[in-house]
Structure 1
Amino acid sequence: MTSLHKVGGLGLVAKLNEQENALRRSELKFSLAFKAAADGIAITRLADGTLIDVNNSYARIAGYTREELIGKTTLEIGMWLHSQDRDQMLARLAAEGAIRDLEITVRKRDGEIWVGLLAAEAMEYDGERCIVAIWHDITERKAAEEKLKLQNEYLFTLHETALALLERRDVHDLLEAILRRAGKLVGTSNAFIDLADEKSETLELIVGAGMYAKEAGYRVQFGEGLSGRVFQSTKPLLVNNYAEWEGRSTAPRTARLQSIMGVPLFAAGKTIGVLGVSNPETRQEFGPQELDQLCRFGELASIALDNAYLHQAAQNELEQRKIAEKELRYINVHDSLTGLYNRARFEEKLCCVADGQAMSAIIICDVDGLKLINDSMGHQRGDALLIAAADILRQAVPADAFCARIGGDEFAIILSEQVEGNAEAVCQMIRQLVEERNLCDPNLPLSISTGYATRSERDISMAQLFKDADDLMYREKLHRSQSVRSTIVGAMQKALEARDFITEGHGERMQSLAVALGEVAGLSKRELGELSLSAQFHDIGKVGIPDRILFKPGPLTQQEYSEMKRHCEIGHRIALSTPDLAPIAKYILHHHEWWNGQGYPMGLKGNDIPLECRILAIVDAYDAMTSNRPYRQALTHKQAIAELKNCSGKQFDPRLTAIFVGQNDFV
């Protein structure tokens, strides 16, 4: 019994020893695994959060030694960056008894890291309720994920931006969209777009945001500052520590800049401007990544701008084409000078009236004396008279009337469904408006002859109606032609005297001198009357000479002198157009002929020159010499007589010159 008992006891001891050895081996293995594990393992007392044990990996993750951590609470080492993370973990342990896959940020000794809680479980450890947790450093993975996320967001932003920008057609609207998206892309609210002005070689700030919001119109020269250098080089540029940059601008707004970068914008195959962004000194600096993003964005923006400019050019071309077509349609049916309908449109209108209306009236108007105005004062003055006539017709006719210029000085009015009394009323209104106009501008009087005809029966053709109205107008024109021409010539003479201070009193002095000399020369009473009239109107042709020549303060050039000599021919035409002046037309033409044949306009010589003209030449020269001129002072009587003697036989008739000089009683 005793032996067996001993034997049994020994077996139990051996079994216990074996179990103890196995437990030690297991503990050793656990200890080795605990210490050598790549992931961090921590055993924390649940009651107060004290770290009972941690392995080397956990200590490395936390940035401490094992000795510094064991015995400390997680609160003491400040592990929990966010208290809600700890509360969340404890709540899940209480509810679930274990946790899998929890990612949080924790504080380590020298910063913050991302960790992943692979597993955490509440269990008994050395008789205490503890939490065994396995941690894994996932900072690099999270950084890679964040980078990938940012890259995805960047690509998405570029894609969305490309779609948004390409849809925009208004250039200014597009520029503002580019500005907003560029700032958002690189994380700043300060952005600007400068566009080039090739003529002034400057870049102008067109749109701006943030610190540039109120700087529209600000300009920099090509090559100046960041924008100028980017534009000139056509390459992107990043400047950090702007205050130390050698190319910095001296503008007050740049004083607080820390970081700025810009990229070129292109359109139509050339650089058109610069897209720029900046950060003030209180913000972070830009880096190569932001510059690369801005460059990529700038490429998209350039494509969008190119499209917008092409669209704008196409729209402008289309608009210009529409305007040109409209102008062409207008020109086809309107008179270019007066803006009234033209002859072609008038004839079309006649056909329409003939086909569709039972009653109509035609008024024919003619501007009197237009040829005289054109020949004497030039077509520019004649055109002014035509424009004035057209304005009067517009005022005189009803709103539904048709008014056209159908010839050089002729106008026509079609009054649809009018009776004769209304046509007469329109003619009366025209006459009244002409009178009012001439009171305001007596220097260039306007006269309009009118005639009208009405149709009340369809069997009267429009051609016949037109002829009847034209005949009536012509009769009125013949009846008043002489008085109209006289009025025009009288107005010309008054206009010449009013604008030419040189001629003030010149006509009267000429008359007195010429008549006195003519009497001595033996002219008849009729001839003396014509001579007196010639002295008064000999310079009437100067109404057609430009003021720049007539009032030039110095000697005339050869070309100007040739223009001035035309006043004889102009005066001749004026005189021929007026019965009262027709007898003296030849005297006006030849009053600048010289005795030796070197005068103008015909180069007549000696006695071939009419006697009246030889007299006019002497007294005209004497009065001119003894009167002030813009380019010289008047000569004395003695000096003028000496000059006449000197030119006797050359410019002047020697016999008449001797008479004029010898008769001091009338000089």
Structure 2
Amino acid sequence: MQKLRRKMKPLLRLGRKESIYFMVFCLFIFVVSISLLFVYEKKRLNKEYNTIIEETLTENLHHDVQGLKLSLDSVKKELMVAMNMFEDNQSDELKAFLAHQNQLNPSRRILYQKLEKQTDILQIIPAGTKAELARLREGQIVFSHPIYNEATNGHVINVVAPLMDDGKTHGFLYSQVDLSALLSKHMTNDTYKNVQSSIIDNQGVILYTSESKAAKETGNLYEVFPDLVIGKKDREQIHAMIDDEKKVSSVIFNRKNTSYFVSAMPITINDWYLVLSVRGSDVLLRSATIFKEIVRISIVAILITLSVACIVFLQLLFSNRRLEIEQIRNKRYASRLQAMFSQNNVLSTAIDIKTRRIIDVNDALTNYFGYPREEMIGKEISHFNLVERKVLDVQFEKMKKSSTEFLAVPHRLSDGSIKLLDVSTSVIDDGVEKFLYVILFDSTDREWYRSELFKEKEFLRITLNSIGDGVVTTDNQGRITGLNSVAEKLIGWSTEEVENQYFTDIVHLQNENTGEITSNPIQKVLSTGKTIGLANHTELINRYSEVIPITNSFAPIQSERGKTFGVVMVFHDMRLEKEHHRQIEFLSYYDELTGLFNRKYMENAIVKLAKKQESLAVIMIDVNGLKISNDIFGHETGDLVLKKVATILEETCSSRDLIARWGGDEFVILMKGKLLQDAENLVKQLKDITVFIEGSNLPLSLSFGCACTDSQTSIAMALQDAEKNMYQQKLLNGKSYRNAIISTLLATLYEKSNETEEHSKRLEEYCLAIGQRLQLSSKELDELSLLALLHDIGKVGIDANILKKPSALTDEEWVEMKRHPEVGYRIAQETADLESVADLILAHHERWDGKGYPHQLKGEEIPLACRILSVVDSFDAMTNDRVYRQAMTTEEAVAEIKRSSGTQFDPKIVEHFIHVLEERKE
């Protein structure tokens, strides 16, 4: 350490001396720089702040002038209104106006001054000029010079309006405008303080907002204030400046080594000018900002100077020491490089470029080849390298030009064995000569594994191409690495075309039901490392935009240790299976003959619809006479009829309606979200359609039954009601075998009594006409038709002598006759197809006033169909001959019905019936 210190002393002395000189030089530069910066910054800031002050003064001046003019103009307008009132002799209105105005604005009251003597004018406009007095005599409004007001401790301007009569002034209206609220006085902000306002005219200064007592004086203030900022010459300069520019102007005056900033603007009242002024010493931000700027610049300059000085000093101090350290480091580096070459386990050698002889080898190479170092040095590389001479020449030429790598080059060892080595060469220039630095790696095992891997890969390729499913493999980045032949056929791309392209760019998957693009499944497998399978409803969109339904799965390609190398996708073309499934589904849920839904599908749909609790209208349809058609024309014709009916239903119903073949000749329609009226309207459309038997002009009719679900009626109950209504309508259809029941009963009735078929038909016709006027449903109209035909069916149980007796009945006979509603009720109850009209047959002899039989029902307690039948039956009985009397005329019968309206008959039904008769008459 002492030797090192002795060597370093001259260097330290040299460093200190040079450092002192350098620091003195830096200090000199610093002082000069600070001086120049100070001069420059002062000029720049002065110019900048002069501009800021002038702009803010001008802005405040413009604001004051506008406020002053606005206030004076407003007062002038108010005085003109008051003058007009006075000239129109509206003294009362004038007083009221002045009182109201003064109450609204106490600070700007309008006062009245009567002119009794000439001095009264001078009280209002002191120091008034001859011109101002002349304008007053002419009836013009005059603005006085500023007047000091003791009450407000500020200046005001009187705005005076003369009141004249016959050309003579007899008084004045005047109002005061307070200038203290309108002028910038002693204003202070971030820029300056103590702003003074002045008003000057052609003669001199007439207002100066100073705090001195002399500022309370009026008139020409030059004599009062000899030290005014604005002197006579200044006033002339301001006048000339404003006259030339005709706008606001600013100027800087100097008074006793003090600068003043002045801005002036004409007021256009009495040729006045408003002037704002501020002393340079009252400018607040200038000195503070200059100080901050200089301090900031000084600190930065000092820090920079000290930093540079320290750097130079340290650089000089340690430069020699660093040189010694670098020499030691280079020696260590050279020895380290030699050790790295000789002691490295990698096979290394150095070869002369010109002679191809070995000039150096490391221990690892001699141990590997089994030769001593002395024996290997000086040998040509062909002694160990088994490559043909021509090939070796070509390879060596490549080595001379640039770094080169040769794979699996055969070499012979000392024991005669042959090893495959990878050879990597680099051209090295050590500054004296160039040589080849060669590194060798044993690749014998690798090449063996490569051969085995190739065999396995070929076996795997053959296996994948033999699989009936498509297979796609990717790497860890989701890039495609391979396709089997099935995948190429389905996707439409070959492996060469898509290799190294991203899976999502080639394979497009979507949901069969929603059409949404499936998120990238490759990334899911790579992130989770688990096998996933997409939903069954997945579709593949291939290169040609064909949509192919598939089932698929994605699995990670992993090593035994669980490391993931990629993903394999296996997918199966489901088109044949889908088609087969569709055929099975069609046979399961569709009627093979008509193509409509079958009963099984409809029963499943009813269960689902019942859970939704949605309103539902049900229509049951039956093909009348289909069995007879099959017997006469054959079953093929019957099948054609059913197909025609199915086509008609599909064309007439909406797309939301469910249509099914319920049985052999029955159909069902479920109208989702519809009401009974919607079903009735659809039935009306279907009734207008005629179905003809193929090969003949014979039509087939359809029977309909409607019902609707509600809070108390389930879908199953609605189906039962619709079926019952349909069978009821089949009773009325002459082509239906069920009509044979009615025909048999009516034949018995006609044989025993005086009732005729014509009577029943007339009743049915009239009843239906009234029912249509009342807009009854098809079910209610069918019930009304049955009632018209079967209301007297109970008379089959009454003695025929009583029924055909031409004279009046005895009491016992009348009691027997009154039994026929109950007998008819029991007959209908015992017949399943007539059960719906049993209650109507029982009540068809009830009266509106409650005097009918058998239960003395009254008013609307009587079913509507019975009230209709009662009117129609009475009318028909009166207008047709009976065994016990002659027929009445229509007019007589109508008159009789009107008399019984409200007692025997429902008044509203009577009105409708009379309308029906009038329409038929027309």
Structure having the higher Rg: 2
RCO (CA 8 Å, sep 6+): is it higher in 1 or 2?
Answer: 1
The two structures have a TM-score, normalised by structure 2, of: 0.23
More helix by share: 1
The two structures have a TM-score, normalised by structure 1, of: 0.30
